[in-house]
């Protein structure tokens, strides 16, 4: 009989979750346009880094919704631009 121990799952940062598109998007523009925050604010959030020595700075549920909305808006704008190519 094999005994296995369950390893605690490490939580992925937002950057890790969005790795597939990370280099394709201007995150600074998203930070300024949708969050009304500085570029460095979103960079720290994406990496799960805290401010003023905080150990962790996860996105709040509200911030996650804003980020989701920003990505959906961007995807719709890209689709519209692509469909407009003649």
What is the distance between the alpha carbons of residues 15 and 21, in angstroms, rounded to a whole number?
9
Indicate the pTM of the whole model: 0.75
Give the start-to-end residue ranges of the domains of the chain.
19-51
Instruction: Look at the block and give the residue holding tokens 């401010």.
Output: 51
pLDDT at 23: 81
CA gap 34, 70 in Å, rounded: 7
pLDDT digits (tens, 9 = 90+) for 43-77: 888 888 877 767 678 899 999 999 999 999 999 99
Rounded to 5 degrees, φ, ψ at 69 are -60, -40
Higher pLDDT: 1 or 11? It is 11
Does residue 3 have a pLDDT over 60? no
Res 21: pLDDT: 87
């Amino acid at each position: 009989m094999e005994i296995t121990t369950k390893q605690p799952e490490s939580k992925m940062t937002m950057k890790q979750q969005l790795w597939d598109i990370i280099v394709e998007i201007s995150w600074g523009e998203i930070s300024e346009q949708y969050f009304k925050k500085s570029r460095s604010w979103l960079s720290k959030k994406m990496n799960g880094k805290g401010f003023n020595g905080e150990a962790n700075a996860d996105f709040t549920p509200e911030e996650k919704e804003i980020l989701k909305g920003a990505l959906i808006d961007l995807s719709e704008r890209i689709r519209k631009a692509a469909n407009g190519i003649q």
